[in-house]
């Protein structure tokens, strides 16, 4: 059994909050550069160039890539041989988020109540997802989620009679309805299977998967490509001004489901789909 002071988790979360908001993952930046070449619309190409200029400016000036520094979503993969000491792990995560957002001068966008709308002032509480794994380490992933894209996400409880094409069409329809609101080109996480809430979590997790990766199941890897093609055929284009690159990548995550259902969730990320990870 390895003892891990929760203060280490707080320090790691604080650092990752700042890092994720200021530094785009290399795989996402690579796909944006790919989009500059792949985009066929002259206006779309100009917009893609502007997005790259924004990334360069954020890097040079050491400022957030986007003014919406998001709601902090924190994934903890906890080895079952870990024993946390010094306090509650959920409190430690929120202490880290508060420190990261205040020390990093990041915009605090969280309100304490969905209807009363009073800002908490430090971007807490975070949305925390914990899973148990083997070993004695803790993997921490911080994924700040802006709500321009989050608001455009969607879910459908399809029936088992739905075809593969029905699934692809449903994803494209959710993206079509979103239009230019999520600041495309988008990164799209798709959850397929599970139940109502797990399906949405699968879609969220899919956004944290490398854009250089393919689904390990070749059939689903092909489905990712088919979904991407369908989405890019919507013609929404960069920032919604029309074009051939509406999305950079579609990542699909799946889980077993009930014989009577086929849950489908689509979590949309903007062109700055941010996340950063570290091992404690």
Is 279 part of any domain? no
Among 145, 176, 198, where does a domain finish? 145
SS3 content of the chain, % helix, strand, coil (to 5): 40, 25, 35
| Residues of the chain under the 50 pLDDT cut | none
127-149 pLDDT, tens per residue?
Answer: 999 999 999 999 999 999 999 99
Is 58 part of any domain? no
Range of the domain at 114: 2-20+65-145
Contact 278, 142 (CB under 8 A): no
First to last CA, the chain: 14
Among 108, 130, 145, where does a domain finish? 145
- CA dist 2 → 135, 226, 238, 279 (Å): 9, 45, 48, 14
d(CA 177, CA 16): 33
Res 128: pLDDT: 98
Res 151: pLDDT: 97
- In this structure, the answer to whether residues 172 and 124 fall within a common structural domain is no
Q: What is the pTM of this model?
A: 0.94
Q: Could you check whether the bond before residue 93 is cis, i.e. omega within 30 degrees of 0?
A: no
Contact 14, 102 (CB under 8 A): no
Is 186 part of any domain? yes
Using alpha carbons only, give the angle 231, 20, 58 rounded to the nearest 5 degrees.
90
Res 262: pLDDT: 98
23-66 pLDDT, tens per residue?
Answer: 999 999 999 999 999 999 999 999 999 999 999 999 999 999 99
Q: Could you give the number of structural domains in the chain?
A: 2
- In this structure, the answer to whether residues 12 and 129 fall within a common structural domain is yes
d(CA 66, CA 157): 33
d(CA 84, CA 12): 14
- In this structure, the answer to whether residues 112 and 167 fall within a common structural domain is no
- In this structure, the answer to whether residues 116 and 14 fall within a common structural domain is yes
Q: How many CB atoms lie within 10 A of CB 42?
A: 9
- In this structure, the answer to whether residues 215 and 269 fall within a common structural domain is yes
Q: At what angle do helices 218-232 and 164-178 cross, to 10 degrees?
A: 40
> Given its phi and psi angles, is residue 182 left (phi above 0), alpha (psi -120 to 50 degrees) or beta?
alpha
Contacts of 56 (CB under 8 A, 6+ apart): none
Is 72 part of any domain? yes
Among 145, 161, 196, where does a domain finish? 145
């Amino acid at each position: 059994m390895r003892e891990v002071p929760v203060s280490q988790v707080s320090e790691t979360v604080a650092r990752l909050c700042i890092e994720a908001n200021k530094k785009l993952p290399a795989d996402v930046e690579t796909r944006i550069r790919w989009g500059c070449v792949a985009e066929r619309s002259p206006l779309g190409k100009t917009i893609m160039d502007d997005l790259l200029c924004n990334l360069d400016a954020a890097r040079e000036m050491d400022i957030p890539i986007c003014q919406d520094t998001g709601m902090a979503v924190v994934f903890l993969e906890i080895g079952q041989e870990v024993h946390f000491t010094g306090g509650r792990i959920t409190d430690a995560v929120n202490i880290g988020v508060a420190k990261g957002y205040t020390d990093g001068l990041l915009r605090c966008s969280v309100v304490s109540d969905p209807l009363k709308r009073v800002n908490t002032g430090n971007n807490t509480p975070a949305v925390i997802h914990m899973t148990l794994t083997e070993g004695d380490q803790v993997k921490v992933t911080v994924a700040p989620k802006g709500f321009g894209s989050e608001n455009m996400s969607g879910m459908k409880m399809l029936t088992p009679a739905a075809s593969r094409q029905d699934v692809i069409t449903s994803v494209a329809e959710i993206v079509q309805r979103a239009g230019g609101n999520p600041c495309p080109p988008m990164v799209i996480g798709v959850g397929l299977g599970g139940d109502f809430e797990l399906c949405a979590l699968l879609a969220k997790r899919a956004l944290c998967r490398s854009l250089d990766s393919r689904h390990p199941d070749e059939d689903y890897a092909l489905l990712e490509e088919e979904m991407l093609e369908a989405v890019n055929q919507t013609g929404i284009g960069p920032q919604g001004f029309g074009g051939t690159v509406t999305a950079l990548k579609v990542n699909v995550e799946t889980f077993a489901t009930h014989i009577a259902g086929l849950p489908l969730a689509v979590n949309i990320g903007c062109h700055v789909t941010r996340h950063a990870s570290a091992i404690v």
